[in-house]
Structure formats: C-alpha cells, structure tokens
C-alpha cells in the first residue's frame, strides 16, 4: 500500500482543498501532485529518500506530502515556527536528503546553519499550477512496514527523537475510523486549522479527509474569528481543535448559530476543561468529543465518536486497539483502579529512528507501547486521564519537556542553574516557567 493512493478514486470535479481564493478539485490535486513529482524526481527524490517539509497548513504542504509519498519517499514535517537551533537539531537526527521551504519556513530555515539541500516549495507549487500536460502521477507500491513519515518528537521519555510511522500505521487508523458509527464521508467538510506538523492534524484531519474524498478548508495560522467565518461560509461539518482554540472560539462575538453546520466536534492534544465543554454546548449547541493518543500511536487510542459524550472522559477505545492499565510491576490493575496506559494496535509506530535503546524502553517485543500516562476506566469502558508518569508540560497541545528547556538554558554562558516547571495557563492550558540563576 502507499498512502499517496488515498486520492486515486475520488470524483475529479469534487472539491478537495480550499486555501483562501485557491480551490482545487481532486482532479486538480492529482494533476498538480504529478507535476511536482517531476520536479522532485529531477532533484533525486526516489524510493526511501527523506524529504523535510517546512511550511504551514497550505496547498503546498499537501502537494509536497503526496508527491514525496507517491515517489516512495519519506516525509518529515517540521514546525516552521520552531527556533532555528531546534530545527537544526531535528534535521541532524534525521539527516534528510532534501528540505522544502514554504512561506512559513523562511524565517527560521534560511539560516547559514542549515546544511541540507534546500528548495523553494512555493516556487515548486506555483510551477505545478501552471504546468500543462504532465506524465501520470506516480504511486510507487510500498510494503506495509515501509516508513511514510518521520515525526520529530520528544518521545514518551522526553529526549529528542524521530518517530518512524509506516504506511500501515497511518492507513490503519483511517480503516478503523471508517468502521465507527457516523464516519466521515465525501459529503463532509473539515476545517484544517490544527497544524499538519502535528500527528492529529496530519493523519486525522488532513489525510483522513482526503481518504474519504471530502472537502478540506485550510487555515494556515489560527485566528478565531476567521476560523468561524470559514465554518459558516463553507458549511463545515467536522470541526477539530485543541482546547485553547475552543476557548478562543467561545470568546468570539459572532452569532451563537455560527456552528450550526457542525455535526461532529472534537478536541484533542490536551485535556479539555469541563467548563469549556459546558460553555460550548450551552452557547453553540455542540458537544465536544475528546480523544487520546500519541505520535507513537498514529495517533488515536480512544475517541468520543459514536456514543454519548462524557465531558471528563477521552472516550472509548478505538476498535482494533488494545489498552491495558498496569501497575509498576507491569501487572494489570483491578477495574476502577489507576494504572499506566499501555497500548497495542497496528497503529503503534515502528520505533525511534536509529535509536534501539529508546525504542526498547517504551515498546515491548510483543508490541505493547508504554505511554507514561496514567488512566482509569469506568464500568462502561470510558477512559479518564488522571496523571502522568513522564515529566511533561502540554502547551497548546504540544509536548514540552522541562529537561529539554533546561538544557537549552544551561547552554547560555550566563546561566549557572535552571529548573523548569509547568503552570496552569488560561489560554494554552499550561505554560512553561523557568527558574534561573546566573552570573552577576
């Protein structure tokens, strides 16, 4: 299988992407992916080539992702807003063959410290739009276990790593979602505002919507008022956001019927405060389903779709996923007791790139992933997150590990000591606080 084939059979005249004034049908999308593949092949992209991609939620991201996958390559999405040194560190781990830089990536990736060969992604995207007849789009056959994406992550333990996700890992999640009640269909419209560099935005929002042939409305940078305007204008039916997004949508002064078209609303990447759930329900008439997952699980472990929502729960286990709660010795806990969440499914990643020790520390030989999160099940099979074993601060849905921040601070010649902790933040859920001592 090859994930690039997920756009193969959709109606050529059906709308695939909306990015401002730019509208692409599935026919346009297939043609432009084929055109970009010609350019990328000329620059040496072929089977197993690793291509880093730094741009926002735009057409160029989608084209490049599908083009590289189709050629048999591996895509490494990078958060374009990350500091240059952080991006360099991630590039050093994966050593990609090529770096594609879009509008959002130019600020931090045009630096002299970047040694990877670079191409202007916007130029490639524009050239694909004006290309005439092109050769047929290429979709190289890949094995289930072949890598599709390298996702930079601090991992379950907190150290910098690159998670290897296969075509099977991500494709299996789409298959599992299709088996649930009220699955996404070609009639659905989704808002692509969660970052595509994050596994939730990448596999659930972007690839999941393209898989069913629906319409995806892109928003490169989150703006609450503009998001809601897009929901109304395009009749968005599936709306997914992180908790800070839902808080900002609540704070908007738009009419209360602004979400009238939404049939499924979800929140992920961090815990959704009950007060936010209740306020959204009371004002907009929408109940937000939560979910739980990790980069290493592609990402869904549990989801609140297809059954009554319980505001403090992250839903029930996705069909085909096994979840156990275990104590410190690895033995299953009794029903109603807390335990570390361990997961086994076809969505569990292949491991950390060239880091067997890190992989073995979280992934057992029989396929169980030790998440470092603590949960509890109720009698109806709903999962609740209650604690973390790992030292982590979740800021707007992104994992921040105190040890990593401390290491950066200690690299400054004026810093003698640093302790980093987390604190509650009304807008981002949590925020990082650094306690620093330095030279006089």
> pLDDT tens for residues 1-13?
999 999 999 999 9
Query: Which single residue is written with the structure tokens 């950390």?
Result: 352
What is the predicted pLDDT for the residue at 416?
39
Could you give the CA distance from residue 53 to residue 118 in angstroms, rounded to a whole number? 10
Report whether 74 contacts 170 (CB < 8 A). no
Question: Do 375 and 282 form a contact (C-beta atoms < 8 A)?
Answer: no
Q: Which domains does the chain have, with CATH numbers?
A: 3-288 (3.40.50.12780), 401-438 (no CATH)
pLDDT value at residue 393:
61
- The reported pLDDT for the residue numbered 184 is 95
| Low pLDDT (below 70) residues in the chain | 154-160, 390-432, 435-440
In this predicted structure, what is the pLDDT of residue 410? 39
Nearest to 204 by CA among 281, 123, 264: 264
**pLDDT for 269:** 74
Confidence (pLDDT) at 110: 75
CB-based contact 123:103 (threshold 8 Å): no
**What pLDDT score does 42 carry?**
95
> Are 271 and 387 a contacting pair, CB within 8 Å?
no
**Residue 323: other Cβ atoms inside 10 A:** 21
What pLDDT score does 78 carry? 95
């Amino acid at each position: 299988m090859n994930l690039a084939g997920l756009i193969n059979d959709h109606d050529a005249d059906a709308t695939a992407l909306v990015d401002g004034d730019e509208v692409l049908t599935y026919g346009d999308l297939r043609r432009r992916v084929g055109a970009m593949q010609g350019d990328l092949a000329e620059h040496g992209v072929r089977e197993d080539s690793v291509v880093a991609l730094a741009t926002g939620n735009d057409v160029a991201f989608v084209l490049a992702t599908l083009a590289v996958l189709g050629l048999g390559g591996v895509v490494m999405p990078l958060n374009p807003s990350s500091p240059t040194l952080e991006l360099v560190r991630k590039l050093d781990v994966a050593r990609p063959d090529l770096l594609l830089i879009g509008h959002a990536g130019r600020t931090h990736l045009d630096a002299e410290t970047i040694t990877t060969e670079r191409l202007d992604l916007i130029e490639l995207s524009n050239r694909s739009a004006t290309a005439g007849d092109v050769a047929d789009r290429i979709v190289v056959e890949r094995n289930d276990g072949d890598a599709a994406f390298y996702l930079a992550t601090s991992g379950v333990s907190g150290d910098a790593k690159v998670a290897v996700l296969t075509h099977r890992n991500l494709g299996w999640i789409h298959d599992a979602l299709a088996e649930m009640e009220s699955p996404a269909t070609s009639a659905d419209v989704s808002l692509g505002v969660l970052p595509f560099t994050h596994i939730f935005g990448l596999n659930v929002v972007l690839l999941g919507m393209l898989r069913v042939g629906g319409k995806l409305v892109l928003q490169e940078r989150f703006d609450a008022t503009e998001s809601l305007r897009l929901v109304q204008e395009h009749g968005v039916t599936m709306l997914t956001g992180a908790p800070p997004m839902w808080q900002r949508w609540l704070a908007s002064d738009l009419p209360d019927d602004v979400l009238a078209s939404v049939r499924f609303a979800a929140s992920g990447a961090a815990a959704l405060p009950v007060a936010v759930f209740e306020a959204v329900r009371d004002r907009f008439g929408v109940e937000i389903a939560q979910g739980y997952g990790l980069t290493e699980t592609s990402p869904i472990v549990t989801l609140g779709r297809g059954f009554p929502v319980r505001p403090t729960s992250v839903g029930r286990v996705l069909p085909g996923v096994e979840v156990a709660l275990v104590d410190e010795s690895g033995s299953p806990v009794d029903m109603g007791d807390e335990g570390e969440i361990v997961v086994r499914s076809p969505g569990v990643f292949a491991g950390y790139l060239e880091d067997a020790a890190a992989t073995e520390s979280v992934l057992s030989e029989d396929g169980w992933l030790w998440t470092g999160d603590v949960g509890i099940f109720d009698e109806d099979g709903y999962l609740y997150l209650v604690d973390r074993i790992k030292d982590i601060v979740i800021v707007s849905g992104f994992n921040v590990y105190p040890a990593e921040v401390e290491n950066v601070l200690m690299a400054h010649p004026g810093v003698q000591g640093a302790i980093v902790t987390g604190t509650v933040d009304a807008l981002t859920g949590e925020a990082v606080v650094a306690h620093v001592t330095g030279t006089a």
